[in-house]
A = this chain, B = another copy of it.
Amino acid sequence: MKLIIAYFRPEQLNAVKQALYAKGVHSMSATNIAGSGRQKGYTETYRGVMIEVNLLKKVRLEVAVKDEKVTETMDAISAGAQTGKEGDGMIFVLDIADARRIRTGETGEMVFG
């Protein structure tokens, strides 16, 4: 079992969701974050004063999947999130040591059943 964490542009969330649905992945959790990476922030003026915005709004998506689904899932996320411009984001994959479905009490890979 792996936990896939992806950061990408908020406006791509719909595309990513559709791409995941197409692969049969329906379970996920999204949250909004402020991130920095390759894409530099920008400077603005507010009331005549410079303001450095170096944390940009991104979405962070968590998808826990069985090991055999990992590549497929990453591909789907990539496909949905890619625009080719700086700021497209990252995917990180972590090992899940254990899992449990709260409603049923199922554990391990069963939770993805």
| Residues of A within 8 A of B (CB-CB), count | 56
- Interface residue A103 (Cβ < 8 Å from any Cβ of B): yes
Which residues from chain B contact A97 at a C-beta distance below 8 Å? 2, 93-95
Which residues from chain B contact A70 at a C-beta distance below 8 Å? 98
Least Cβ distance of A3 to chain B in Å? 6
Q: For the complex, what is the distance from the CA of A9 to the CA of B36, rounded to whole Å?
A: 19
Interface residues of A (CB under 8 A from B): 1-3, 5-8, 17, 26-38, 54-55, 58, 60, 62, 64, 70, 74, 77-78, 81-103, 105, 111
Q: Across chains A and B, which 8 residue pairs bring their CB atoms closest together, nearest first?
A: A88-B103, A93-B98, A29-B35, A88-B102, A27-B37, A91-B100, A31-B33, A29-B33
